[in-house]
Structure 1
Amino acid sequence: MVAEPNNWGRFGPDDQRGTLNLLTPEVVLRALGAATTGQVLSLALPIRGATSSAAPATVPHLRGRPLPQHFMSVDGGDYAAGARPIGAGLRVADDALVVSPHGTTTHMDALCHMWSGDELYNAHPAARVRSYGATRCGIEQVGGVVARGVLFDVPRHHGVDHLPAGHRVGPGELEALGPGLRAGDVAVIRTGWPAVWRRSPEEYWSGQPGLSAEAGRWLAARDVAAVACDNAAVGGLDSRQAAAEGLDDDLHLVLLHRHGIHLMEMLWLEELSATGRAEFVFVAAPLRIEGGTGSPINPLAIL
């Protein structure tokens, strides 16, 4: 059992959803009041092309991860002989999609994605995570997320386009931004780092800004339902694209493992930042991949 404060047992001994349990019907209905104009923004990076083209590599991703593969049958050049006829002169194009979400596209981490020792979140046995899938805390346990989103636009706060690679956002910076957090909110953190990709992939891979461990604990203490960020790991990364903190301060262990707080990574927040809105309705739903450690998502901000 982990030593620091955690949510193990808080929502019952069989719980596999963590702080998403805070999204009661009453909390969801109150969250809907954050929408005032009805404008809808997608907060997802695009999934582009097939690995036989350069297209997938034009989207931010971690070096060395398998890029998404999107194949189309309409031109007959990929996985099928061509668009298949369906009668009366009509034809239909099909898709095939292969995605390893972690580090390659906008995605949500399941509570089985990372752990320490022999136990997942809430003392579920880590041995239940096997090559055929996780029978505890898989991404299919999430369902859908509808909550009040609160944007912490840290670069705007500092008057810069993006944070430097070595910047670790502290609790004081979060406290100075946005409306006060309520239990069940989704904290959305902007670093501006994905925009660096357009200037230089090498600079993007040189490291990444992110939350400090203290900021993660600050969010956990305020009972957020989930944490979403535009960087690749919520916490910062070093030049090896690895978390520099020790295990006690690793944000995946602090948030996923100890507090049952789902993480969403690699969001695109530039258009949302341009609106100046700090409060909105946040909507996200992962695919129901049974036993999955994560899933691509298309998060939405309803303004």
Structure 2
Amino acid sequence: MTFEQYGNWGRWGADDERGTLNLLTPEAVVAAARCVREGRVVSLAMPIRGATSSPAPTTVPHLRGRPLPQHFMSVDGGDYAAGARAIGAGLRMADDALVVTPHGTTTHMDALCHMWSGDELYNGHPAGRVRSYGAQRCGIDKAGPVVARGVLFDVAGLRGVPHLAAADRIGPDELRACLDAAGTELRPGDVAVVRTGWPLTWQEEGPDGYWAGQPGLSADGGRWLAGHDVGMVAADNAAIGGLNERQLADEGLADDLHMILLWRHGVHLAEMLWLEELAGAGRAEFLFVAAPLRIEGGTASPINPIAVL
């Protein structure tokens, strides 16, 4: 099978723009809800903290050179205390302004239009429809809310280390071992949540340690997950696959994780999650909920993924 023919193209029809999220049928959602046993709710998101003019760039993990989300509480350019707008007798109101470039800066979900090869997006849609005013095909607005069974692949926990090394790549054997250790299995439509522990390096070693590279899935690891019909792949690193010290992937086109998952198989990606609290809960199966903003034609959206235990 050639590179161009490989994957889920045509599986849900020529007009499909949702990929494996089509597997999240009402029956699958009802089955996922059965994972809830305690009613405990855990956020899996990184914080959005202040503006780039504040100390935030030194406190929140992000890729080097990427602008952090900028959150301002301001009215007409004034600071909150001085500029809060009067709305009635004795009442004041503060407004928020938020500027976000999701990729590499905060917890986000990639759309199927984020990466492509040649002149075609996922499922053969024309890449020329991705314009400065938005993607006309496979934008994040086509994904919809994700409600699914989540399965935690705690690879760092399996190895007994706080976090993997920058050069580590996660293959099928370790993914299988995580399932075996948890006594569970993957089902079609599941969200595979992969923990490397890498965000901890920001706390331990600072930005330079975090930027020294990143561990992640190997190409075969990505193919293994795609072969199990996962609905989405989520991870606590910045690119699902690994990165070198220049914050780039070393793989060629055929082995690039974004091409394998987004482009060939229509598997949406969620990146830069915070998984430490979830890992500490000792639960490998849970209800996973994430809703991207309805950004028409967006290549990604910030998300606050939720694990319901």
TM-score scaled to structure 1, two decimals?
A: 0.97
Rounded to whole Å, the distance in 1 between the matches of 2:66 and 2:214 is 16
2:147 and 2:287 in contact (8 A); partners too: yes
Count of residues in Structure 1 that have an aligned counterpart in Structure 2: 303
Deviation readout 1:149-203 (Å, 9 max, x if unpaired): 0000001101101000000001000011132000010000000000110122101
Partner SS, residue 34 of structure 1: coil
Partner SS, residue 199 of structure 2: helix
Rounded to whole Å, the distance in 2 between the matches of 1:4 and 1:247 is 14
Q: Give the aligned partner of residue 194 of structure 1.
A: 199
Residue 136 of structure 2 corresponds to residue 131 of structure 1: no
Superposition deviation, residue 2 in structure 1: 3.8
Rounded to whole Å, the distance in 2 between the matches of 1:76 and 1:128 is 37
Residue 269 of structure 2 corresponds to residue 268 of structure 1: no
Superposition deviation, residue 3 in structure 1: 3.5
1:75 and 1:83 in contact (8 A); partners too: no
Partner SS, residue 174 of structure 2: helix
2:52 and 2:67 in contact (8 A); partners too: no
**CA, structure 1 residues 274+96, in 2 after alignment: closer, same or farther (shift >3 Å)?**
same
Residue 171 of structure 2 corresponds to residue 166 of structure 1: no
Superposition deviation, residue 267 in structure 1: 0.1
- The structure 1 residue matched to 2:303, chosen from 274, 297, 303, is 297
Gaps of 5+ in 2: none
Rounded to whole Å, the distance in 2 between the matches of 1:79 and 1:102 is 29
Rounded to whole Å, the distance in 2 between the matches of 1:160 and 1:199 is 14
AA aligned to 1:286 is P
Q: Give the aligned partner of residue 184 of structure 1.
A: 189
AA aligned to 1:50 is A
Q: Give the aligned partner of residue 106 of structure 1.
A: 107
AA aligned to 2:112 is L
Q: Give the aligned partner of residue 50 of structure 1.
A: 51
Rounded to whole Å, the distance in 1 between the matches of 2:281 and 2:201 is 20
AA aligned to 2:24 is L
AA aligned to 2:175 is L
Sequence identity of aligned pairs in percent? 73
Rounded to whole Å, the distance in 2 between the matches of 1:299 and 1:14 is 28
Superposition deviation, residue 5 in structure 1: 2.6
2:80 and 2:94 in contact (8 A); partners too: no
Rounded to whole Å, the distance in 2 between the matches of 1:122 and 1:76 is 45
- The structure 2 residue matched to 1:250, chosen from 219, 240, 256, is 256
**Aligned residues: CA RMSD:** 1.5
1:192 and 1:230 in contact (8 A); partners too: yes
Matches within 5 A, 1:1-303: 2-3=3-4, 5-73=6-74, 77-78=78-79, 82-178=83-179, 179-200=184-205, 201-303=207-309
Rounded to whole Å, the distance in 2 between the matches of 1:31 and 1:99 is 31
Partner SS, residue 38 of structure 1: coil
Rounded to whole Å, the distance in 2 between the matches of 1:299 and 1:291 is 21
AA aligned to 1:18 is G
**CA, structure 1 residues 300+138, in 2 after alignment: closer, same or farther (shift >3 Å)?**
same
TM-score scaled to structure 2, two decimals?
A: 0.95
1:56 and 1:69 in contact (8 A); partners too: no
